Amino acid sequence: MINFAVKEMTALRYFIPLVEEARRRGIKSNFFIGGTNKYNCPFRYHETLRDLANEHQINMYDIDALRDVEGLTFYIENVCLDQSSSKNKKVSLTYQNDFINEGDSCYHNYVNYVDHVIFPSEFFAKFHGTVSDKNLYLGSPKYDVEFTRDDVLRKYDLPRNTNALILFPKLRDLGKSNIVEIYNHIRALGYNILVKSRGKDPIMDKKMRGDRYFEDASWHPHTSMELMSVSDLIINFGSTAIKECVMMRKPVINFPIKPHQIEKTFPFLYEYDYCRQLQPNCDFREFEAAVDYLTRTDHTDAFSQSIKSHLFNYKSAPRILDFFMEDINDVK
């Protein structure tokens, strides 16, 4: 039996692939559910959580019961560690941003309170100065999900012709994005514009919502990854979602408008031929040339090299459970 501490719906995209791998091995999973004031609080999505628990045969308990739990327990970064049991083995998964954040969720502020932290790769740890003997370089189960194009198109009633996915900039950075002109460039090339933002950053201006607009339509599978799977081109604004673009092998135009240090945007992932970096005020000819190159060139080798050098092989959930089988068997 394995346990999961759930106070954020965003954790499900990391936890459920582990639940499914455990179920294939005859191992049961328990979710310990708590609430927050955030947009992704599980109590706001009770029916969704219940349906997922039924589908994946997950037992659900109140978060307070976590204090008495024994055995292997998965967390996301520092979430719920203050409600954990001294009797359980604590393993923290990472959103892959905790080594660049500040505050409580920063890796350095919780690594001493867990037994292990599962990192995407050793490269990430070295690059961000977060090397520790507690690190396990086993990847991220979030990317274990496989998508079928027809299923995603049907699920969201999307057109079958060319789609461009806009990973909408944070509202903080919107004034630097020149977003309306970029939309004009994309439409002039015949693309449907899919816009993805987050529940905590809703887009109120309809002219910025593109042809189809999404926030957090699906907690598992991840909406952004679903939309990437049916898009021919990704438009990014310095988001760390560049890692999803690379893992899903989707060409990217990036507009580097983030105000903070470049090391916080995973700069090494932009240094390959699957990406073109432009300024938001670029003219149509420059934009068209970038799109033409990205969509007409085979980037297979570039993606493979980037994944090999910086990220990890797919199917992380089996690797993770293989590592912890002894701990799991101890409490079966």
The one-character DSSP state at 156 is H
Q: Is 81 left (phi over 0), alpha (psi -120 to 50) or beta?
A: alpha
Measured CA to CA, the distance from residue 144 to residue 18 in angstroms comes to 9
> Could you state, in order of their start, the residue ranges of all structural domains in the chain?
2-140+313-330, 149-310
pLDDT at 263: 63
pLDDT at 106: 86
Number of Cβ within a 10 Å radius of residue 267: 14
The one-character DSSP state at 263 is G
- Are residues 247 and 143 in contact, defined by beta-carbon separation less than 8 angstroms? yes
- Are residues 232 and 164 in contact, defined by beta-carbon separation less than 8 angstroms? yes
Class of 2-140+313-330 in CATH: alpha beta
Is the alpha carbon torsion for 82, 84, 88, 89 positive or negative? negative
C-alpha closest to that of 74 among 130, 20, 21, 32: 32
pLDDT, one tens digit per residue, over 208-259 is 999 999 998 899 999 999 999 999 999 999 988 999 999 999 999 999 988 6
Measured CA to CA, the distance from residue 274 to residue 294 in angstroms comes to 6
pLDDT at 329 over 90: no
Both tokens of 88, joined, read 């359980």
- Are residues 272 and 249 in contact, defined by beta-carbon separation less than 8 angstroms? no
Whether 2-140+313-330 and 149-310 share one fold: the answer is: yes
pLDDT, one tens digit per residue, over 268-315 is 999 999 999 999 999 999 999 999 999 999 999 999 999 999 999 999
- Across the beta sheet with 163-167, what order do the strands follow? 212-214, 192-196, 163-167, 233-236, 252-254, 275-277
Measured CA to CA, the distance from residue 168 to residue 176 in angstroms comes to 12
Q: Regarding the domain delimited by 149-310, which CATH topology (the fold level of the hierarchy) does it fall under?
A: Rossmann fold (3.40.50)
pLDDT, one tens digit per residue, over 170-197 is 888 899 999 999 999 999 999 999 999 9
- Across the beta sheet with 116-119, what order do the strands follow? 58-62, 29-33, 2-6, 71-76, 88-93, 116-119, 135-137
Question: How far is it between the farthest Cα atoms of the chain?
Answer: 63
- Are residues 225 and 147 in contact, defined by beta-carbon separation less than 8 angstroms? yes
